[in-house]
Amino acid sequence: MFDLKGYGPELAAGALVTIELAFLSLALALTLGLLGASAKLSGNRFLAGFAATYTTLIRGVPDIVMMLLFYYGGQVGVNMLSDYLWEAYEIDFFFQFDPFISGVVTIGLIFGAYMTETFRGAFLAVESGQIEAARAYGFTRWHTFRRVMVPQMLRHALPGIGNNWQVLLKTTALVSIIGLTDMVRVAEEAAKAERMPFHFFIPVAAVYLALTAGSELFIKWLDKRAHAGVVQGS
């Protein structure tokens, strides 16, 4: 029953691509989220406005449209730049936009916006007394941020990060549309060639299910660790 008609290794390689894509996008999203939340809370009107525009724009547009724009538009943009550089300065510059990079950038940008909101809420949940105490001890702004705010904020941010991660994981399936040979793409080609859709899509669905279920357990464990020593009223 579990005969994958010789597509097994390709599917496994595809699954690895999916996982790599998900982790790289997560890293980018977390970085952008921290930057975005810091910008929103910085008190600087220009920075806050910029971050607000970023999160609003991203949340108004479907992920797949953004991906198509980056993938096709990115290449056209690079071509224009390379033409210009050649004509103006005779510099030979070319860069092939590949689906993997476009996928990481788009998913990172999209979830960066969601992470911004998560981190913003978490930063606001840190007691102001903690920050005042740090300042009273003579901590600089950077030290307060790194030693006091971030460690305490993470505890509040964890459930939000977990939710975003689950959605991100499922969003990686879309990168198959712009031609990345991930698990979904391999399954699609195999299903078409062998005319056996259930045979190939159901194992792929099961891999996604295993990934989301595994993440859920891991996040629960992390949450428990993050709450070590916190007395919770019930």
Question: Does residue 214 bind other proteins (CB under 8 A)?
Answer: no
Site string for other proteins, 127-166 (x = CB under 8 A): ----------------------------------------
Identified binder of other proteins from the candidate list 17, 21, 174, 180, rule CB under 8 A: 174
Size of the residue set binding other proteins (CB under 8 A): 39
Question: Does residue 213 bind other proteins (CB under 8 A)?
Answer: yes
Instruction: Pick the piece of the chain touching other proteins (CB under 8 A) from 37-45, 71-79, 83-91, 123-131.
Output: 71-79
Instruction: Pick the piece of the chain touching other proteins (CB under 8 A) from 54-62, 118-126, 139-147, 225-233.
Output: 54-62
Identified binder of other proteins from the candidate list 64, 85, 219, 226, rule CB under 8 A: 64
Q: Please report, as a single letter, which amino acid is at residue 160.
A: G
CA angle 50, 125, 134 (to 5 degrees): 95
Strand spans (E) along 64-201: none
> By three-state DSSP, how is residue 146 classified?
helix
Let me know if 106 is exposed, middle or buried by CB neighbors in 10 A (0-12, 13-18, 19+). Answer: buried
Distance, CA of 208 to CA of 223 (rounded, Å): 22
Asked whether 200 and 93 are in contact (CB, 8 A), the reply is no
Instruction: Pick the piece of the chain touching other proteins (CB under 8 A) from 5-13, 56-64, 84-92, 220-228.
Output: 56-64
Question: Residue by residue, what is the 3-state secondary structure of 165-234?
Answer: HHHHHHHHHHHHHHCCCCHHHHHHHHHHHHCCHHHHHHHHHHHHHHHHHHHHHHHHHHHHHHCCCCCCCC
Question: Does residue 193 bind other proteins (CB under 8 A)?
Answer: no
Positions in the binding site for other proteins (CB under 8 A): 57, 59-66, 68-69, 72-73, 75-76, 170-174, 176-177, 184, 187-188, 191-192, 195-198, 201-202, 204-205, 208-209, 212-213
